[in-house]
A and B are shown apart, each in its own frame.
Chain A
Amino acid sequence: MSEEKPINHLIPWTTRGKLLAIYAVVFEFLLMFVAPIVANVPHSIGGFPGLWVFTNIVGWTWIILGIATGYMKR
């Protein structure tokens, strides 16, 4: 291991790793920054609070996509 060739990856840069990293950025962005905007629709989606519906959809979608992608071959 020489300083001329540093190891510079943060995660194993497989297709699977790239997809999971993209999910992390997209879904955490939706949860952290878009959800508070949705909160201004308080009682609109099938009688449920908009914020609650939105975060549940985003959260569970991320979980399902994460598991599915995590079991990809590489």
Chain B
Amino acid sequence: MAIDVRQAVVLGCVVGYIALLFIVGGVGKWVKLKEKTLTDYFRPSKFAPFWAMWFAMGANMHTAFCIPGSMGFYYLHGVGFTAHFIWTVGTALIFMYLVGPRMHLISAKYGHVTLSEMIGDFYKSKWLAAFVALFVSAANIAYFTANIIGPATLLSFGTGGLIPFDIAVWLIVIIVIGYTLPFGFRGVFYTDILQGAVMLLATWGAAIFMLSMFNWNTWALFSKAYEVAPKHLTLPGGAGWFTPQMWFSWAFFAITIHWGIQPRNYQYYQLAKSAEDVRKNALWIPIYLSAIYVPVVILGLATKVLMPTPPATGAWTGPDAAFPTIMAQYAPALLWGVLIAGSMAAGQSTLDSDLVAHSGMLVNDVYKALLKREASQAHYLAVGRIVVLILGILAGYISIYAAKLPIVTMLVGMAGTFVMTLLPAVLGAILPMGRFKITKWGAFLGIVAGAIVGLVTTFPTTLGLPSWLLNPYGYHSALWTFLANWIVAILVSLVTPPPPQDSIERFHAFLDRELKALYPPAKAKA
């Protein structure tokens, strides 16, 4: 097959990105394990410079939805996507600020490897830890595919089919396995720094180019967008989806909460050199999380102006295909290549941390805690690497062969909502609530109730239920999930035995002392 210059440049960018990835994430003593232990592989701690956390954690948090998903979202809905400020700022300045330093302090004190181990330790239940590990892994495994399918589609499209979709999927997965399998979360961290930089470069570079097509005149761009698609400049947007009810219930309940407590974030909180660094990162990271979406308004609306109806024929069709089609047609080859590499970076930077974090929970809190309790660290480390490999291959397999199965589409849509149901269990462990305590049964049944209500209000007809149960009264299913989750967690906690006094001492009293020492209250200091 003959390769034209444009394809060659795109391939060069992709190969260059992959080479850089392995140089940063696979070479040098900084990524090598310091000890051959589960802890050092799955949850290394206290080595990440503050500035690097900003790039790395930002890349880790932004998924493939960032590139190319958000452009397609803007193209379809319009400026309603600025709802992203609800989560790009709210997640960091509310949830990460609140839970991050506490998780760092607790893990440093008691050596928990995973989020589920921390939960199990507070509630004194290995079964709850195992349940959380299995539940979150089952919920998120299908979501891994979202971070593969989007970039793989773009890679295949961008190379003009030179790299078929199936090969693109395995390429993305194998690269991630290549640096996570030997180096665990250290490999994740160093590659995420690079990926975070590539993502910023790709989105801002594309926006600068797109603006040049409108003579650098944003006024002209918005005016033209108003002529072509007036609904795109207000609510409920081009597809009528962004009603006031949906605006707040979707952005806050479906995204803001789970984004702050995802298992991969737990690992990240431990990388910082101190709890104070975790706190400061929560203050600074909204700049990264928001800034990456600022240029997307230009990309989405400019695409709408240049291509008012999405491509109906060709290699890629539908709203998500509009932006790549425009870029493939007009963008300089180098920029087009950087954008495709940026999309791979967006997906891989989340997939890598997800692979390691979830493998860690399955090995530490299911295999080690329940199935094979007495084995060497070398054994657990080997099993950990095998699980990373299995999860990676499973995600690749689902992306190619099972992405359209009902169970997979259900899980992709529900992953964030399911993770959100961990909130009572997490807050119960690390935030004192006076005399009221979340209990083991409250945490467990809260998760179960939230998951059931989430499924019923997202896929009622699939489950044979009335269609009015879909996002009842116009509010996103995540709001109803949140209500069921907390109401059941609180009611059950009121009538079941509280966590042992030992847990209160080890978690709440310990955090109280640590935080008061770090941040003395104004009166005490005066």
Contact = CB atoms under 8 A, between A and B. Distances in A.
A47 B218 contact: yes
Contacts of B508: 1, 7
Interface in A1-57: 1, 3, 6-17, 20, 23-24, 27-28, 31-33, 35-37, 39-40, 42-43, 46-52, 55-56
- Number of chain B interface residues as a range: 35 or more
Contact of A32 (B80, B247, B501): B247
Contact of A51 (B79, B512, B521): B79
B519 A74 contact: yes
B90 A31 contact: yes
Interface stretch (B33-41, B114-122, B278-286): B278-286
B251 A32 contact: yes
Given A8-B434, A39-B235, A60-B290, A15 B89 contact: no
A39 B521 contact: no
B432 A13 contact: no
Contacts of A43: 222-223, 226, 233
A32 B86 contact: yes
A27 B97 CA distance: 15
Contact of B433 (A10, A12, A42, A49): A10
Contacts of B433: 8, 10
Interface string B499-526: 0010011001100100110111110010
Nearest to A63: B286
- Number of chain A interface residues as a range: 35 or more
A42 B280 contact: no
Interface in B234-249: 234-235, 244, 247-248
B248 to A, nearest CB: 4
A11 B230 CA distance: 44
Contacts of A71: 283
A39 B432 contact: no
Interface string B238-275: 00000010011001100000000000000000000000
A28 B257 CA distance: 13
Interface of A: 1, 3, 6-17, 20, 23-24, 27-28, 31-33, 35-37, 39-40, 42-43, 46-52, 55-56, 58-60, 62-63, 66-67, 70-71, 74
Interface of B: 79-80, 82-83, 85-86, 88-90, 93-94, 97-98, 218-219, 222-223, 226, 230, 233-235, 244, 247-248, 251-252, 279-280, 283-284, 286-287, 290, 294, 297, 431-435, 501, 504-505, 508-509, 512, 515-516, 518-522, 525
Q: Is chain B's interface secondary structure helix, strand, loop, or mixed overall?
A: helix
19 contacts: A6-B432, A6-B435, A8-B432, A11-B98, A12-B521, A14-B519, A17-B519, A24-B93, A32-B248, A36-B247, A47-B218, A48-B222, A49-B233, A52-B79, A59-B85, A59-B88, A62-B93, A63-B93, A67-B283
A32 to B, nearest CB: 4
B82 A74 contact: no
A16 B321 CA distance: 46
**Among B82, B219, B233, B431, residue most surrounded by chain A Cβ atoms (within 10 Å):** B82
Given A10-B433, A24-B94, A32-B247, A56 B504 contact: no
Given A1-B509, A31-B90, A35-B247, A55 B85 contact: yes
Contacts of B522: 14-15, 74
A59 B294 CA distance: 11
Closest 9 CB pairs of A and B: A59-B85, A8-B434, A7-B432, A39-B235, A42-B234, A47-B219, A36-B244, A32-B248, A55-B82
B85 A31 contact: yes
Contacts of B521: 12-14, 74
A50 B520 CA distance: 42
B376 to A, nearest CB: 37
